[in-house]
Amino acid sequence: MALLTIRTAGDPVLKTVCAPVVKIDKRLRKLLDDMAETMYASDGVGIAAPQVGESIRVCVVDVDVKNHNARHDLINPVITYREGSVVDNEGCLSCPDLFGDVERAAKIRVEYISRFGKKKSLEAEGLLARCIQHELDHLDGKLFIDIAKNITKGRKNSEA
């Protein structure tokens, strides 16, 4: 595995709508592993491909900050169900030191393809639901600072 360079706000790749993945192969799995390693090294709970310069619809999430034991690799993810609404503070590895309050659905269902090409579905709430919604915004070229309120400098919460 290898650490990748995280792109930061101002880089046009973060404003680009990503293309769906068409081929799931060893190369893609290596990218997912490198993204995970980069995320863990930065104490993040999620990372999307454009954050490492790849305009494709994949992201990695793991909200188990202590043990790194809840990793999900999401390929071509689509949110198919949303319920409720909750405002919480969030950050982003691509916007160092910035935090802000973002309204997200409280519960979601996301459908995606696994790293081995299987169709999967995941129901999430809490931090995992927030993180997945944050990462899917990245795949559409959106940053949390575009929608956040009360943006402040300084670490307050997990970054994705």
What would the two tokens of residue 152 be?
């402040």
Q: How many residues does the structure list for the chain? A: 160
Residue with Cβ nearer Co ion (117 or 146)? 146
**Footprint of Co ion on this chain (CB under 5 A)?**
92, 160
Residue with Cβ nearer Co ion (49 or 75)? 49
Task: Give the CB-nearest residue to Co ion.
Answer: 92
Residue with tokens 């190369």: 27
User: What is the sign, positive or negative, of the torsion defined by CA atoms of 133, 135, 141, 142?
Assistant: positive
- Whether 123 is a known active-site residue: answer no
Residue with Cβ nearer Co ion (75 or 92)? 92
> To the nearest whole angstrom, how small is the minimum distance from the Cβ of residue 117 to Co ion?
26
> To the nearest whole angstrom, how small is the minimum distance from the Cβ of residue 89 to Co ion?
14
> To the nearest whole angstrom, how small is the minimum distance from the Cβ of residue 73 to Co ion?
16
Tell me the residue ranges of DSSP E strands in 16-156.
46-48, 58-61, 72-83, 86-91, 98-104, 107-113, 119-125, 149-153
Q: Please name the helix (run of DSSP H) or strand (run of DSSP E) that holds residue 139, with its range, or none.
A: helix 126-139
User: How many angstroms separate the CA atoms of 89 and 109, rounded?
Assistant: 21
The catalytic residues are 135
